[in-house]
Chains A and B, each alone.
Chain A
Amino acid sequence: MPSCTATCDPARPPRPPPAVSETQRTESTTPGLAFERPIEEIESQIAELESLSLSTRLDISSEIEALKARLRETIHKTYSDLSAWERVNVARHQKRPVANDYIQEILDDFVELHGDRAFGDDRAIVTGFATMEDWRFLLVAHRKGRTTKERMETNFGCAHPEGYRKALRKMKLAEKLGLPILCMINTPGAYPGIGAEERGQAMAIAENILAMMTLRVPIVVVVVGEGGSGGALGIGVGDRVLMMEHAYYSVISPEGCAAILWKDGERSPEAAEALRLTSKDLIELGVVDEVIREPLGGAHRAPSVAMNEVRRVLLRNLRELGQVPIDELLLRRRKKYRRIAEIPGRFPRVL
């Protein structure tokens, strides 16, 4: 049932960024992230003072402490009242943890499995056996790179049909081996291209949705960044659907929505608001089961803290689902999706 895990202490100071580098300062002043500018200014001031105190051996720790207090306050103020569009930009933040970070940080073991044995190996979706504490499972994750080169390689997280078919093949293997499945969603959407259409993008997604209804192992889905429409749902059917606080999940991107409604991409912020795509909206609507809190200032500010919180929540969900007999689990899953987000009593019953 919808619940909110309050675990990351909001008062906990964010881990001071390991020396705010020059790159960070320039990178995050993207238009959509303008709201972060005051925070970055203070961060850079702190960094300057810290390096100054190191080089001059002057004791200016009280000044630094004061600035840090101000930083916390500013972050808190900014992040307690983010607009939908700002959240979308946080979800797309370049420093936000991506699949490879999670694999390194929270998995104790990972063996990648490639290919759909039909067409190719889509780099936009990574699949493989994973271990976390005493749990073995299959990881299926959208892969987004961080550097431009990585992003090109992973097609910016936009999978082709072979990616979805690879996921399905590995999930069927997991079913056979009795391994639970963890799907990590972070995609702007399935790729709209000629090859993708030729090889049946829509069919691949539809078949995944259908197959995931009946896989006889527990499935946990977590939206960690962008939840882009059908591309997300193609690996997004599960017994539990979790979502990180600043992730978004939507039927259409705000840009696409604005382009269609107003023929004006500039109005994306309005569209983001209208689409009700934030974690808060989704829990209210009953589409996701649980929101994973992020450290103050977003996952990109303290990646390790954020990822370990995801790990903690995932382990709890794996444990809980592991206790449910599989037939019961499948019944619940079917009912969950058949009645998803439904207002009780609104629709007639046939069966």
Chain B
Amino acid sequence: MEGRSLADETQSNPLAGESSGAPLEPVAPAPGSAADPRSDKGREKERKKLEKLQRKAEKKADKAAEKAEPAEATEGSSDKPEEEPKREGRLARLRFSKKKDMPGGLWLKCESCSQVIFRKELEEKGRVCPSCGFHFTVPGKERIRMTLDEGSFREHFADIEALDRLQFMDAQPYAEKVRRATERSGQKEALLCGLGTILGRPVVLAILDFNFMGGSMGEVVGEKIALAAELAVREKRPLLIFTSSGGARMHEGILSLMQMAKTCAALQTLNENGGFSICVMTHPTTGGVTASFASITDLILAEPGALIGFAGPRVIATTLKVELPPGFQRAEFLLERGMIDAIVKRSEMRETIAKFIDYSKGARVSHGGGALRPKGRS
């Protein structure tokens, strides 16, 4: 080899690149960990701090981030606040920004327009920024509530659990990590799936929940996507998928990568059986999820402002050592370049999906379909 030559360096960069684009797990928020130190500091102090953050240069923001949330340096280490006192600036910043859609403090900053928002207001508005309309990541169960007709959801395959087949060990065993994520979220895996109706139209719904290990795809997530596709074949219902994911789950190694092929195989079976599938990519959808089932459904929709890509922006910026153009990898960017079918606002999601399902029934309006009037909630 040529030592630490140019060739080697450039070669290993894309490596690190794509991969961390794939499993973004460590930046996953730690949902439900109510121990956010900010909550008892008082609004005024909090607000000041955040406003300061807004103005400060990036570097300073990092430090503030570290101070503000030292207790959650890495995913699953919330009980070991001293574990990582010194973090690299860039990583810290990313982690901090991802945490903004976590339950916890009273105030948070919109990652799109940087406006400081009252958390409660955000939740009341379906997690859409009141100032710029940015669509925040929605926890899986909340997504079910806002998508399906009330009380129509019947969950399937809720008991399938992850296995630590690689005996993967970093700060703690993978099995322990999963156990904690399960405790925090009250669900056994990142994928929730089942049957339900949207404005009276039956669907099979699969939701990839970013709040469970960054929505990363391991064996169980892959299997449940495949099972959902097969359920759609059996029940003759459209398959509706919502994604938010950092990509493949590193802790399951090559088995995670194989889920890309597995999910595609199952979706092909759905296609051959005349099934209809829609994927809604929500913020953020990257890595192995974008590069497999999410990109091969009949329709690909996205929520406004959603980050969608193969490699994460941080990875690209580090690899190329350039500033990324504004709006890069956002839903609008993808739409402009012809990669997705439509951008749909959260407030119009139910009606739009119902309409698409009606179109999938064929030419005669009398065949299926029905009122598009929202029932109960918009």
Contact = CB atoms under 8 A, between A and B. Distances in A.
Interface of A: 27-33, 92-94, 148, 151-152, 156-158, 188-194, 196-203, 205-207, 209-210, 213-214, 228-231, 233-234, 237, 249-253, 255-257, 259-263, 265, 274-277, 281-282, 285, 287, 334, 337-338, 340-343, 346-348, 350-351
15 contacts: A30-B2, A158-B14, A201-B291, A210-B264, A229-B288, A251-B19, A253-B16, A257-B23, A259-B20, A275-B166, A275-B253, A277-B253, A282-B254, A340-B262, A350-B231
B227 A350 contact: yes
Nearest to B168: A274
A37 to B, nearest CB: 13
Given A252-B20, A337-B265, A202 B291 contact: yes
B157 A348 contact: yes
Nearest to B90: A263
A188 B2 contact: no
A287 B258 contact: yes
B287 to A, nearest CB: 8
A-B interface, 5 closest residue pairs, ranked by CB to CB distance from nearest: A256-B19, A192-B311, A252-B19, A189-B18, A253-B15
Interface in B252-305: 252-258, 260-262, 264-269, 287-288, 290-296
Contacts of A192: 14, 17-18, 21, 310-311, 315-316, 319
Nearest to A262: B170
Contacts of B213: none
A12 B304 CA distance: 63
Contacts of A214: 268
B52 to A, nearest CB: 26
Contacts of A249: 254
B325 interface: yes
Q: Which of A152, A192, A276 has the most CB of B within 10 A?
A: A192
Interface string B7-41: 11011101111111111111000000000000000
A96 to B, nearest CB: 10
Contacts of B334: 200
Contacts of B88: 263
Given A192-B21, A260-B250, A338-B269, 11 more contacts: A30-B8, A152-B7, A156-B10, A188-B14, A189-B19, A194-B322, A197-B329, A205-B292, A210-B296, A229-B248, A275-B253
B361 to A, nearest CB: 23
Contacts of A274: 166, 168-170, 253
A351 B165 contact: no
Contacts of A348: 157, 160, 227
B372 interface: no
B208 to A, nearest CB: 15
A27 B1 CA distance: 4
B310 A197 contact: yes
Interface of B: 1-8, 10-12, 14-26, 87-88, 91, 157, 160, 163, 165-166, 168-171, 219, 223, 226-227, 230-231, 233-234, 248, 250, 252-258, 260-262, 264-269, 287-288, 290-296, 309-311, 315-316, 319-320, 322, 324-325, 328-329, 333-334, 337-339
Given A210-B268, A250-B257, A338-B265, A259 B291 contact: no
A261 B310 contact: no
Q: Which of A33, A200, A231, A260 has the most CB of B within 10 A?
A: A260
B18 A206 contact: no
Contacts of A93: 1
B230 A350 contact: yes
Contact of B268 (A30, A202, A334, A346): A334
- Report whether over half of chain B's contact residues are helix, strand or loop; otherwise say mixed: helix
A8 B328 CA distance: 50
B19 A210 contact: no
Contacts of A338: 226, 262, 265-266, 269
B16 A255 contact: yes
B317 to A, nearest CB: 10
Contacts of B261: 209, 213, 233, 237, 337, 340
Contact of A151 (B7, B26, B292, B333): B7
A260 B18 contact: no
B23 A347 contact: no
A205 to B, nearest CB: 4
Contacts of A203: 290-291, 295, 339
Contacts of B19: 189, 228-229, 251-253, 255-257, 260
A157 B7 CA distance: 11
Contacts of B310: 190, 192, 196-197, 201-202, 205, 230
A200 B337 contact: yes
Nearest to A26: B3
Nearest to A351: B230
A276 B254 contact: yes
A277 B294 contact: no
Contact of B26 (A189, A260, A276): A260
Nearest to A197: B309
Given A277-B254, A285-B255, A347-B160, A260 B17 contact: no
A27 B2 CA distance: 5
Contacts of A201: 291, 309-311
Given A255-B16, A257-B19, A263-B91, A33 B291 contact: no
Contact of A33 (B1, B91, B160, B316): B1
Given A196-B310, A263-B88, A350-B231, A252 B5 contact: no
